[in-house]
Amino acid sequence: MDLESLLGGPPGVFLGLTVVLVGSAAWLTGRAIAETWRPVRQLLFACLGLAIAARFLTFALFHGPLLSLSGFLITYLVLAGIGLLAWRVTLVGRMVRQYPWRYRRVSPFAYEEMREP
């Protein structure tokens, strides 16, 4: 099985359309869901719709196969990963900004509760 059949289209199309274009939409979706304090399951459901849209655009614009199971799964995993990354970074930033007396940032992905002196 070659890379094109695995991705459900040419690798350049996957990189440009799925990762860059639709991936930026997944990033913004993750940020919006985290900013409104919504659970991560809503993000995963939204990324499902984005993956369907990305597969359709690959089919309609670049003549890729519409019903490629491996292409859909890889597209969904990439978009969900980008969305989850944005969701976590935004949530950590929001917790640290909103509750500065209680939490401090440890990394872009984690915060910890402050210890009392």
Report the 3 state secondary structure along the chain.
CCHHHHHCCCHHHHHHHHHHHHHHHHHHHHHHHHHCCCCHHHHHHHHHHHHHHHHHHHHHHHCCCCCCHHHHHHHHHHHHHHHHHHHHHHHHHHHHHHCCCCEEEEECCEEEECCCC
Q: What is the pTM of this model?
A: 0.90
32-87 per-position pLDDT tens digit: 999 999 999 999 999 999 999 999 999 999 988 888 999 999 999 999 999 999 99
- CA dist 66 and 56 (Å) reads 6
Q: Determine the pLDDT at residue 117.
A: 66
Cα Dmax for the chain: 63
Helix axes 40-62, 69-98, angle to 10 degrees: 140
Q: Determine the pLDDT at residue 8.
A: 87
Q: Determine the pLDDT at residue 34.
A: 96
Report whether 110 contacts 74 (CB < 8 A). Answer: no
Of 20, 55, 38, nearest in space to 94 by CA: 38
Q: What angle do CA 102, 103, 109 make, to 5 degrees?
A: 165
